[in-house]
Amino acid sequence: MHKNNLPTEKILAQIKQRFYPYHPPDKRFHQDRRMLLYTVTWPATWLEKRGLPVTSQAYEKLLTERLDDIAKHGEPERYRRYFPRYLLKCIQDWFAHHGEELYEELKHVRNQLCDIENLLCQQTSQSSHDVAAPIAAAHAVLARQTRRKKQPEARQLKLL
């Protein structure tokens, strides 16, 4: 069995516990799971496009803070039926408003960490590796699967 060190499953478990409390939670959660996974992986594409490495713990903390904000200030009950889309929109809005601050913070930390890593020259554990790239790759796969296929145009007219 392959050990998964990516934080996506932990984050999905938090979402299920916090935002799917009604009975039975499994049915609705599993119906929404693909879109929730798409939502949870979206920030990795944002980070990857900007060349910002992030550890598993930092990625989990970033999304957990967003979930806390949504639970505290958002209206998840109002959008229960469309919760995955609501969650995605909230996360995208946060990145639109606070992305520059996050970029500056991670850019600064990255330079320090690279210097420290070069000095130490040690084998690092899996938890300190950049997780944005594999999560962004998973997001790309999910994005391709969720796109609707166009119907082929009819080249011949139907007789009847």
Res 42 pLDDT > 50: yes
Lowest mean pLDDT among 1-10, 37-46, 131-140, 145-154: 145-154
Lowest mean pLDDT among 79-83, 89-93, 144-148: 144-148
Q: pLDDT tens digits for 22-34? A: 767 678 888 889 9
SS3 breakdown of the chain: % helix, strand, coil, rounded to 5?
70, 0, 30
C-alpha torsion sign, points 96, 10, 61, 134: negative
Residue 75 in 3-state DSSP? coil
**Residue 127: predicted pLDDT:** 46
Res 68 pLDDT > 90: yes
CB atoms within 10 A of CB 27: 11
The model's pTM: 0.70
Indicate left, alpha or beta for 121 from its phi (over 0: left) and psi (-120 to 50: alpha): left
Instruction: Report how far apart, in Å, the C-alpha atoms of 57 and of each of 22, 44, 51, 71, 128 are.
Output: 29, 13, 18, 21, 8
**Residue 61: predicted pLDDT:** 93
Q: What are phi and psi of 94, to 5 degrees?
A: -60, -45
So where are the chain's domains? 41-119+130-144
Res 91 pLDDT > 90: yes
Q: Which of 63, 59, 87 is nearest to 75 (CA)?
A: 87
Tell me whether residue 22 is exposed, middle or buried, using C-beta atoms within 10 angstroms of its C-beta: 0 to 12, 13 to 18, 19 or more. Answer: exposed
